Structure 1
């Protein structure tokens, strides 16, 4: 499909009033092949543009060209020289038309210089986009515009880097609050900082409590959309009967209770970022509607027949195994690949032990600062024993569990220093139930059942000892062994200690 995209300008108004060719009509009539679609946008002269559409259709019909291909749209910009609002509207239309067209032609003659400049910058980034100009002699010509914006931008950046090479380094403020000391977390931050300016959809994976929303917020703040809103939707909490309204909005009277017009989160996030938290909880019906909005960049409010174009970057997060859900038919494969252009997997806290101590110090400081407002509160520090015990725990609830535990320990203690016993008392004990897994053996398979059982026992003993700081009495209680002597006997049997080890 061949598409002509153009702003509506004064020269086009004059051409219509004088019934002579204007820049838009020149290109539409003289392009070697007829256009399948002509899209005209304007921020003023709405009445004139409405008259221009049938006038141009008549010209095309006389020239025996397809004429029912012209469409006009009113857009909102601050002024003909406001680059921000012009860029916002131009980006919407150029992205949309480029994606649905084989060839996109942009008219640079109509509209203001700012409109032309923005169209060139945006259009040069599309491989299927070309530029037309029309002169006063009513000639049209394709403008190659040999300027390489990417190369010039890279050269400018390189010069800026060189000029600042001797200055002190500064942190990326978007990521400076994220504690990353361990190699896995440093890799996460590095990857996120690279994805942030690329404007791609991002899928953030990780267990509950690992900080998926924190990294998503940082990506937004480090992106070109930082000045625009970031809206969050908890996909697991979307009521089935209100999904369409929450995502896409509704008009007054669309349904019982719709007493006024409402913008959905896609419109609210227009120009910015939409964070879809727990996207794995969406039903298949909702996934279909979401995919359509993401693919087409268009939404329709409930009860309305007007299509609204939106420019939204989507960051989705989930603790669920989306690949497994795709294989089971619980999550649409096309939606998965639409979201997973950039993938970040945040490691659980137990796999980033180096981060725990700085995390504890940062969280303790925040708790102390917040609690200082209470008259009788005394600030506290974490003792070496308290820190050692904290490092030994698995933190299955990740940072969220660590945060809650530290709050209980600091707020409930009357001491100036927090010890291991304070952390122990602040922990919420959970029964570690093991899931039963089906065992499948083929005829002739051989397994060493005794060795399997011993390996499992050994792992649990090691985990209990780590959690208690090698305290055998408490470890025996954790393992339901009755007393420490039974634990000692088991450790001998498993060859974890020597037969001759003296009893402690």
Structure 2
């Protein structure tokens, strides 16, 4: 049996009153193979159904096509754009008709976009379903939709997980949403809330991966400028040739390729906040230009002469020691004091170990949400020993390193728990080869070199034991020693208790 499934449109009814064919009738009367059965779904215009059905059957009779099994059925949907009820109703009919028909043809011309999209998704899952369309200019066409929705969904979900893993954790948080339990971090948030309510420039300091952008964004969200733009730029990634146009914009014709006017980040952030990440990477000439903008409160586009007033709050961040850079003449002192009005120093992860368990829980929740789009992935938690392992690590890359490690461990781990083995496999090994700075001694200086080297060895042995969970075999490998007996001998000589 050859069956047609279609929705009834208002145009179909109106054209029939003029004894003219619209989409539904065109398909029913002109398809290359007549339909044995026509199922028409409708949810409105009840009083018109009988008249339209009589007109369509008369046309089918005149065309010598089957007309006995043609009917309009009420579709139980809330509205023509309610996907949930449209999906439910369409699924019932497509399931029923595809099972009882040799071929089911679904019209993609009549109906709302929600109805058409739902029909395509459900119909593509059936081997005996094809689609049909009609238009006044082209007539009847049978579109080929070369999409494997199951495969496309899995690919899209996997790509979504990959994008999530490649990016930093969610940064759109207010200060009250930032994870904190340790006294130092709670004090930082308290100070940040005070700064958020002011209009002062803010300088956020901290090691790479500590969450400087999260803090800066949160200050903006809690500020009086929250409903205005928040623009961010990584100063270390600004191409020298494009710094001016990126920050200050350009006029049309300012240089080859400038075919239209462009507003720079300062103008884009007008009324809001401009976040200058890694401000310590700015070259000297750009530092001068930035200082001038902060002093004068105005910019001039490249190729322009007009001075444009801007109202922008600056939040800058860096992992570098700006005071040392000032002393070395690598960063302008006057710019430093312009930026460092309100200073926030975010502690490293190893300095806020009290925050790690709740931070891990939040990061795992984000990972699980991303993984939930893939049926093959289960929601996972960190095992008790896994958490002990996390707490034993120094995390030199801070939250960013922890985030990436959890993503990798979740990917490798099987079942509903991420174990300490999954985590240890997920940590990227670092080869530490710190070289000593040049040593200078005066003629009468005295040094206890044995004590210095013993102290150095003791510090690294203790660090290796802590990181390995007091597993001597692994600590031996970390330290590059011959065997664990060598490590035991060193520990005995240096009076190191393995339980410490």
| Class of the TM-score when normalised by the shorter of the 2 chains | 0.5 to 0.7
Give 1:376 deviation, angstroms: 0.8
Partner of 1:300: 300
Give the Cα–Cα distance (whole angstroms) in 1 for the partners of residues 438 and 177 of structure 2.
44
Give 1:486 deviation, angstroms: 0.8
Calculate the TM-score normalised by the size of structure 1: 0.64
Partner of 2:249: 249
Partner of 2:318: 318
Give the Cα–Cα distance (whole angstroms) in 1 for the partners of residues 270 and 435 of structure 2.
44
SS at match of 2:176: coil
Give 1:497 deviation, angstroms: 4.0
What pairs up with 1:58-457 in 2 under 5 angstroms?
174-457=174-457
Calculate the TM-score normalised by the size of structure 2: 0.64
CA RMSD, Structure 1 to Structure 2 (Å): 1.5
Give the Cα–Cα distance (whole angstroms) in 2 for the partners of residues 467 and 269 of structure 1.
45
The 3 A distance-change label for structure 1 pair 491 and 308 is: same
Provide Cα deviations, 1:225-280, integer angstroms capped at 9, x if missing partner: 11110111111111111111111111100111100000011111111100001100
Unaligned residue ranges in structure 1 (runs of 5+)? 1-172
Give the Cα–Cα distance (whole angstroms) in 1 for the partners of residues 425 and 307 of structure 2.
58
Give 1:440 deviation, angstroms: 2.2
Partner of 1:484: 484
SS at match of 1:176: helix
Q: Is the 8 A contact 2:413 2:419 kept in 1?
A: no
Unaligned residue ranges in structure 2 (runs of 5+)? 1-172
Give the Cα–Cα distance (whole angstroms) in 1 for the partners of residues 203 and 180 of structure 2.
20
SS at match of 2:469: coil
Give 1:481 deviation, angstroms: 1.3
Q: Is the 8 A contact 2:203 2:340 kept in 1?
A: yes
Give the Cα–Cα distance (whole angstroms) in 1 for the partners of residues 435 and 213 of structure 2.
29
Give the Cα–Cα distance (whole angstroms) in 1 for the partners of residues 346 and 274 of structure 2.
20
Give 1:412 deviation, angstroms: 2.0
**Runs of 4+ that moved beyond 6 A:** none
Give 1:211 deviation, angstroms: 0.2
Give 1:314 deviation, angstroms: 0.1
Give the Cα–Cα distance (whole angstroms) in 2 for the partners of residues 360 and 477 of structure 1.
28
Give the Cα–Cα distance (whole angstroms) in 2 for the partners of residues 447 and 493 of structure 1.
21
SS at match of 2:263: coil
Give the Cα–Cα distance (whole angstroms) in 2 for the partners of residues 361 and 221 of structure 1.
23
Give the Cα–Cα distance (whole angstroms) in 2 for the partners of residues 481 and 440 of structure 1.
30
SS at match of 1:203: strand
Give 1:414 deviation, angstroms: 1.5
Provide Cα deviations, 1:155-189, integer angstroms capped at 9, x if missing partner: xxxxxxxxxxxxxxxxxx72132111111111111
SS at match of 1:198: coil
The 3 A distance-change label for structure 1 pair 244 and 488 is: same
Give the Cα–Cα distance (whole angstroms) in 2 for the partners of residues 353 and 262 of structure 1.
46
Give the Cα–Cα distance (whole angstroms) in 1 for the partners of residues 497 and 227 of structure 2.
61
Give the Cα–Cα distance (whole angstroms) in 2 for the partners of residues 193 and 236 of structure 1.
28
Give the Cα–Cα distance (whole angstroms) in 1 for the partners of residues 263 and 319 of structure 2.
29
Provide Cα deviations, 1:137-165, integer angstroms capped at 9, x if missing partner: xxxxxxxxxxxxxxxxxxxxxxxxxxxxx
Number of matched residues? Answer: 328
Provide Cα deviations, 1:421-449, integer angstroms capped at 9, x if missing partner: 11000111010121321112222111111
SS at match of 2:315: strand
Q: Is the 8 A contact 2:206 2:319 kept in 1?
A: yes
Give the Cα–Cα distance (whole angstroms) in 2 for the partners of residues 337 and 443 of structure 1.
42
Partner of 2:129: none
Give the Cα–Cα distance (whole angstroms) in 1 for the partners of residues 414 and 473 of structure 2.
27
Give the Cα–Cα distance (whole angstroms) in 1 for the partners of residues 435 and 189 of structure 2.
34
Larger radius of gyration: 2
Give the Cα–Cα distance (whole angstroms) in 2 for the partners of residues 203 and 316 of structure 1.
5
Give the Cα–Cα distance (whole angstroms) in 2 for the partners of residues 482 and 361 of structure 1.
39
SS at match of 1:187: helix
Give the Cα–Cα distance (whole angstroms) in 1 for the partners of residues 402 and 421 of structure 2.
15
Partner of 1:161: none
